[in-house]
Structure 1
Amino acid sequence: MNPHYWASSQKRAEEAPEDRQRPASSPRRFLLLTAVGAHWEAKVTVTEVSQGRAVSSLGGQRKGGPGDRIGVDHFGFKTDKTFKQRYLIAAQQWQKGGRSILFYTGNEGDMIWFCNNTGFMWDVAEEMKALLVFAEHRYCGKSLPFGANTPKDSRHLNFLTSEQALADFGELIKHLKRTILGAANQPVIALGGSYGGMLAAWFRMKYPHVVVGVLGMAPVYQLCGGHKAFQEIITFTFSGGVHGLKGQNLNIWVQSCCMTLDKLFNFFVPYFSLDSSGLLSQACTEMVMPFCTKGIDDMFEPHLWDLKEFSDDCFKQWGVKPRPSWITTMYGGKNIGSHTNIIFSNGDLDPWSGGGVTKNITDTLVAITIPEGAHHLDLRANNAFDPETLLLARSLEVKYLKQWIRDFYASLRKTL
């Protein structure tokens, strides 16, 4: 496989609506787009200067033996096929006495979109002297092990799992620490939202020696059985959003809900437009999330979730049948009290919070609930319209992140 290397600067131009509302004085950011292939060796180049700030990006081509490759299958021994995993990286704040690495665990979509819409990382980079890394999920964006048809070909579904994705992230961090001067003994904190938040939480659970802590909107309980909370929270959110119109005029209520749903659909299209087939196939293998409605506490028609019907549909479309209990076996379900240093954030207007961790489990497994908060709103960029509750939540999250970094260096000093 020929090594492949993207060296184009990427401006944060394709902003989300809330990012566009940021003050005009905010510095623009640029990124080097990099692919990790079979062999890599890092180098540093300064690609842009924005408002007086030199923006450095790291990337290159790694050279080495089989241990240096990004494998399609990390857990088998019969294939040595490798692929190019794209990651985005920015070091302008880290190069001024870097102290930490903030690592975004990519989820179901092109990484540029998530990079442009995870403004929290950019906002705290200077304060935390952080190297920013955005890792693309396998089978998404340009990280396609089997070419353009990778997400759509059912023959390759065996390698599209959360376990394989976590191993990709672990291999990437090992590579970056080995090849970037000064990164070897720095703490890594993983961040993610939605499925990416699940991955971040599971990353800490499975690879505690790689990441010292996690901040994520992670609905990990959504996979522990049937849930009706999702639809109930949607109903609660819409009833508040249209100021109680349901009780006044049902037609106006329905019309308002449909308009809001249409806006939500347009907002979430970037999540599913490019890689939806890959996401849907995971729902038919390991990411089994039952949904049901009763029509009593929610605004939807009654609907029961039927595992057999769902399984038959999956087999018809993908030639596979789901394993509903595998994720619980793999990651512990609700029995996660033995882990440490995970912040589970939830917005109370976010329907996915119904499957989230909403109460502290231990002193280091912390739940932060954000009144008036939407889907991983805390990971978005600071905004003039942010509610006070969101600002307080972000402040608390940064406090925890800094504590993990202090703990890491205190432990490191003891070993020297």
Structure 2
Amino acid sequence: MTSLWLFLLILLPLLGEADGAWNQRQIRKKIHQLREIQNFKSFYSRIGLPKGAPSYVPPVEGFLTQPLDHFNRRNNATYKQRYWVNEEFWQRPGGPVFLYIGGESSESEYSVLAGEHVELAQKHRALLVSLEHRYYGASINPDGLTLEAIRFLSSQQALADLASFHLFISQKYNLTRNNTWICFGGSYPGSLSAWFRLKFPHLVYAAVASSAPVRAELDFTDYNKVVAQSLSDAVIGGSAKCLDRVRESFRVVDSVLQTGNVTQLEKDFFSCAPLHGPDDYTEFVSNLADIFMGAVQYNMESAGCDVRKICQSMISAKSAYEGLRIVNSMHIEFIGLKCVENSHEETLSDLRNTELSPTGVGERQWYYQTCTEFGYYQTCEVSSCPFSPLLTLNSQLDLCTQVFQIPTTSVRQSVQFTNEFYGADHPKSSRIIFVNGDVDPWHALSVLKNESRSEIAIFINGTAHCANMGPSRPTDPLSLQKAREEIADKISSWLQSAQLAV
């Protein structure tokens, strides 16, 4: 057995197994695991030797003591925030600094060992640093998820953490103005990357914001509009027939739910427990819809997220309902479940759980941020949505009230404030690259056209969420290869201009 696969077998158990919870929470967990594995394989393929060999110098893991509330220094409470540093490529003393920004999940050493930003750091002899987001992974106090303590979780506090981290790294490595900082992030951290450049232009010279939903949106109807378009996109294996089959399958399910005679649905779709009333019905159709949403958002990241494969199954089945049943079974196998948890009470219990997990996706934390900053609720109350109209805005806003005691009026006001504070999809900054794929539903909330000569948008045909951020591969589509080249050229140009400005 090769060293690479030996270490891969060691890594797999550390990534955790899927439990009984379902829908997009489990899909995100699975993708998070698979990305760790991909970064692991990419790193060991690059260095060509097992970890621990004499010539290998591992990245440094550390913890920085941060104020819990940067905006009230009379509050002396602190927490420890995890970071990673990789000096492998750094040309001392004047090489640039590439900052990888963490988001709504734990980070690991591979945040500075693999990915597009690492390949660019190798080219430009940059110091690689990454910062785990407050309240996620190991960067949280033991009581951090209680209603009292979680109130210090926000994007604004996270940006202040980044500014404090900038000072810490600058002092630790004796950095000066000659060390040009460029930040990188994808999805929510992509927004943070753009906002860090926007709010702290004196600290970071440029930013790459991949799949960054910089416009907060309470009722994110365009998400499922893009999902529908992608399911009918022949470039990725979709078709109009596939989309029609999906629509029909949910109409059939909705008609059965309306009768209340749901025993056959429970059996056909492997429900862990009987469906009790409207709230469970909403959970049920949400879990089914999430299969298609996840397949589109993460298309081609794994065998379980493949629009072509799902559409083939929907079309080849003897009926739309049978196709939906087959696709559900495929996803249960992909996630590693025996049944699907459709209980609304279980969802509430999961989101109310204040126990800490040092790995994976922070679901309670992220839902709190949607309630207090972003919305992003993916609904199905318009005709363009191919799923069930039971996916309502109110059903998701109710979770804010039931879990966090946050009323709907407050959520609406918070979303409006976020857009006022950051500028939504017209942030009026400079030296930011917004990268999006047309398959990714989140591109609807990003910057898709050049805002200025240096605030540019790259739109990649046929790619999904954060496709450019992973390690480059020979199998990358031509559109993605060209986008990577454009990003690399712009980074090179900005680094040159930074040196001339010093």
Superposition TM-score tier, normalisation by shorter sequence: 0.7 to 0.9
Q: 1:154 to 1:230 in 2, by over 3 A?
A: same
Whether the 8 Å CA contact 2:62–2:82 is kept in 1: the answer is no
Taking the aligned partners of 1:272 and 1:302, their CA distance within structure 2 comes to 34
Larger radius of gyration: 2
The structure where strand makes up a greater share of residues is: 1
Residue 203 of structure 1 pairs with residue 224 of structure 2: no
Superposed displacement of residue 164, structure 1: 0.4
Taking the aligned partners of 2:169 and 2:416, their CA distance within structure 1 comes to 34
Taking the aligned partners of 2:185 and 2:369, their CA distance within structure 1 comes to 18
Superposed displacement of residue 297, structure 1: 2.6
Whether the 8 Å CA contact 1:224–1:334 is kept in 2: the answer is no
What does 1:3-402 align with in structure 2 at a 5 Å threshold? 16=35, 18-19=38-39, 25-27=45-47, 54-55=56-57, 57-58=59-60, 70-95=66-91, 99-112=95-108, 115=111, 119-144=115-140, 146-147=141-142, 149-150=143-144, 152-182=145-175, 185-224=178-217, 226-240=219-233, 241=236, 243-244=238-239, 245-246=241-242, 248=315, 250-251=320-321, 253-255=323-325, 258=328, 273-294=360-381, 296-302=383-389, 305-306=392-393, 310-321=396-407, 322=411, 323-336=414-427, 338-402=428-492
Taking the aligned partners of 2:471 and 2:416, their CA distance within structure 1 comes to 36
Taking the aligned partners of 1:356 and 1:263, their CA distance within structure 2 comes to 33
Q: 1:139 to 1:225 in 2, by over 3 A?
A: closer
SS at match of 1:171: helix
> In the alignment, which residue of structure 2 is the partner of 1:38?
none
Q: Which of structures 1 and 2 has the larger relative contact order (alpha carbons within 8 angstroms, sep 6+)?
A: 2
Q: 1:28 to 1:228 in 2, by over 3 A?
A: farther
Taking the aligned partners of 2:215 and 2:82, their CA distance within structure 1 comes to 29
Superposed displacement of residue 261, structure 1: 6.0
Gapped runs of 5+ residues in structure 2? Answer: 1-6, 13-33, 245-314, 337-356
Deviation digits for residues 365-388 of structure 1, max 9, x if unmatched?
Answer: 111011121110101011232111
Taking the aligned partners of 1:49 and 1:243, their CA distance within structure 2 comes to 47
Residue 361 of structure 1 aligns with an amino acid whose one-letter code is: E
Greater Cα shift, 204-213 or 256-265: 256-265
TM-score (norm 1): 0.78
Taking the aligned partners of 1:60 and 1:299, their CA distance within structure 2 comes to 47
SS at match of 2:85: strand
CA RMSD of aligned residues (A): 3.4
Taking the aligned partners of 1:85 and 1:24, their CA distance within structure 2 comes to 27
Taking the aligned partners of 1:195 and 1:329, their CA distance within structure 2 comes to 17
Q: 1:18 to 1:310 in 2, by over 3 A?
A: closer
Taking the aligned partners of 2:49 and 2:366, their CA distance within structure 1 comes to 29
Taking the aligned partners of 1:202 and 1:310, their CA distance within structure 2 comes to 27
Q: 1:76 to 1:237 in 2, by over 3 A?
A: same
SS at match of 2:204: coil
Aligned length: 371
Whether the 8 Å CA contact 1:238–1:257 is kept in 2: the answer is no
Residue 291 of structure 1 aligns with an amino acid whose one-letter code is: Q
SS at match of 1:158: helix
> In the alignment, which residue of structure 1 is the partner of 2:298?
none
Superposed displacement of residue 306, structure 1: 4.0
Whether the 8 Å CA contact 1:94–1:129 is kept in 2: the answer is yes
The structure where helix makes up a greater share of residues is: 2
TM-score (norm 2): 0.66
Percent identity (aligned): 24
Q: 1:238 to 1:98 in 2, by over 3 A?
A: farther
Taking the aligned partners of 1:208 and 1:153, their CA distance within structure 2 comes to 34
Superposed displacement of residue 112, structure 1: 1.2
